[in-house]
């Protein structure tokens, strides 16, 4: 006879359905208030002023340098994710947080239906980072912004992740919003789904009851995305037999 595996992980108290429903309904009041507050913040975001950029600043894509205006791909708006990059480092040492964020944005037809182009602006060389893109099997538009970062990220720390919103009017380009660090969580669905579970994200910064598992410590605050020394998403690519050798891309092009 099989012995039951003992599981001593902490759990919430067990109650009857009526008590459970009452507690959930009390939380729902706060959830609805949070939703309305998010709507109000979004409304304020739509009313921010904007700053003009040089539309002829270049980024590098598969066909070579193109202008920022070209990166809109004919649409009215552009959302650009600025991918952190460690030039000359192997795939296993590339940014865990950016691998997590960028990998979520694969189905972009819904954005495009609202006249929005999504693209990644990598902060490293095109050839090397494109080799990583191919290893990961991604499909979103990918550019290198190396060489133009001081203009594109004026006043910000180059080398940090950013999500930046642009709009164009004819051949003029304007920056309307940007966010960084936990602000880029908007790109991810996994964290939001984890937040619906009893143990949440299982990260040390969370306010959880005593005994809740929180083993996901992080080198980068709030971005623990590594197992056995690699960003988690890489392991399925390795298992599928893809090469993670980026050396063929290390030709120094930007």
pLDDT tens, residue by residue, 89-135:
999 999 888 998 888 888 899 999 999 999 999 999 999 999 999 99
Q: Which secondary-structure segment (H or E) carries 164?
A: strand 162-169
CATH topology of domain 51-188+219-249: Glutaredoxin (3.40.30)
Classified as helix, coil or strand, 41 is: helix
Query: What's the CA gap between 254 and 246, in Å, rounded?
Result: 15
Interacting residues of 67 by C-beta distance below 8 A, sequence separation 6+: 55, 56, 57, 58, 59
Cα pseudo-dihedral 180, 88, 190, 178, rounded to 10? 20
Given this model, what pLDDT does residue 5 score?
65
Given this model, what pLDDT does residue 216 score?
76
pTM listed for this prediction: 0.88
- Enumerate the domain spans of the chain: 51-188+219-249
pLDDT in tens, 157-208: 999 999 999 999 999 999 999 999 889 989 988 888 999 999 998 888 888 8
Interacting residues of 172 by C-beta distance below 8 A, sequence separation 6+: 52, 55
Given this model, what pLDDT does residue 2 score?
55
- Average pLDDT on 84-91 reads 94
Given this model, what pLDDT does residue 4 score?
57
């Amino acid at each position: 006879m099989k012995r039951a595996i003992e599981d001593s992980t902490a759990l919430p108290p067990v109650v009857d359905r009526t008590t459970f429903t009452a507690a959930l309904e009390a939380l729902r009041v706060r959830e609805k208030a949070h939703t309305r507050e998010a709507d109000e913040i979004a409304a304020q975001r739509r009313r921010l002023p904007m700053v003009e950029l040089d539309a002829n600043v270049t980024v590098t894509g598969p066909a070579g340098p193109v202008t920022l205006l070209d990166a809109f791909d004919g649409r009215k708006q552009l959302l650009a994710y600025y991918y952190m990059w460690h030039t000359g480092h192997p795939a296993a040492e590339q940014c865990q947080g950016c691998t997590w964020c960028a990998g979520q944005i694969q189905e972009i037809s819904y954005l495009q239906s609202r006249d929005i182009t999504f693209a990644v602006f990598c902060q490293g060389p095109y050839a090397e980072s494109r080799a990583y893109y191919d290893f990961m099997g991604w499909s979103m538009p990918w550019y290198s912004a190396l060489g133009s970062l001081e203009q594109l990220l004026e006043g910000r720390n180059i080398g940090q992740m950013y999500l930046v919103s642009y709009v164009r009017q004819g051949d003029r380009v304007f920056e309307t919003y940007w966010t960084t660090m936990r602000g880029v969580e908007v790109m991810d669905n996994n964290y939001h789904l984890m937040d619906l579970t009893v143990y949440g994200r299982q990260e040390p910064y969370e306010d959880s009851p005593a005994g809740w598992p929180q083993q996901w410590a992080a080198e980068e605050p709030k971005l623990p995305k590594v197992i056995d020394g690699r960003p988690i998403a890489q392991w399925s690519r390795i298992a599928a037999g893809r090469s993670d050798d980026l050396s063929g891309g290390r030709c120094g092009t930007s």
